[in-house]
Amino acid sequence: MTQSEIAALLKPYVELDERAIACTATYLDLILKWNAKMNLTAVREPEEIIRRHFGESFFAAAQLLKASDALTAIDLGSGAGFPGIPLALFAPQTQVTLIEANGKKAAFLNEVIRGLSLENAKVFNGRAEAYSRTADLVTMRAVEKFDLALSLALGLVAPGGRLALMIGAAQVEEARAQAPGVNWDSPVMVPGGKARVLMAGRVLRSGDRVIG
């Protein structure tokens, strides 16, 4: 797939600079190569991988960050690297930690980081319970055991930080019920008509007041 084709597929979600498009092309090639020998994603068609994984992740990045932001971020249960790697590409000064317990997937993520020469991303190969640091932004997408993962994600958010979930529209009320200590923004529909939303909010600490 050419870089111009990738840019066209991503246009409904985000407009990227040439570097990010080139990195996306390399990243896609790595996914296709590794997916032949391990289950990184059930999506096999390159065009659909761009739309469903890259498009959604870059859309979230553009909603959550400015390209010039210099924050810290954690992607919990990173899997194939979504949305963590796109976050790192979109905001090169933001330091992104990809938490992934599966050793083979962690090896893939390290290969992507090397292949893209990403200096602002690193992998923590272990369980979230074993990770002792917090971040300004914590993201979560397509994880198993949603309730447990959400609880772990909340504990990784630094004081005053934000939690961002990429979920199905049907999960919005479940997330609200499971995380009443988050001052949620209105959910934002992801382009593409797949009933996917970005749900983000500031995690409240003791003494904070809910606004809205």
Domain parsing of the chain, residue ranges: 3-203
Helices (H), 91-132: 103-116
pLDDT at 208 over 70: no
Return the axis-axis angle of helices 18-35 and 3-10, rounded to nearest 10°. Answer: 100
Amino acid found at 130 = A
Cis peptide before 12 (omega within 30 of 0): no
Cα 164 from Cα 112, distance rounded (Å): 23
> What pLDDT score was predicted for residue 206?
56
**Residue 115: partners with Cβ closer than 8 Å, 6 or more residues away:** 26, 27, 30
> What pLDDT score was predicted for residue 194?
74
- 96-112 average pLDDT score: 98
> What pLDDT score was predicted for residue 144?
82
Percent of the chain whose pLDDT exceeds 90: 91
> What pLDDT score was predicted for residue 192?
84
Tokens of 64: 């959550």
The domain made up of 3-203 is a member of CATH 3.40.50.150: yes
pLDDT at 193 over 90: no
pLDDT at 207 over 80: no
pLDDT at 210 over 60: no
pTM of the model: 0.94
Percent of the chain whose pLDDT exceeds 70: 97
pLDDT at 211 over 50: no
pLDDT, tens digit (0-9, with 9 covering 90-100), for 41-86: 999 999 999 999 999 999 999 999 999 999 999 999 999 999 999 9
- 160-173 average pLDDT score: 95
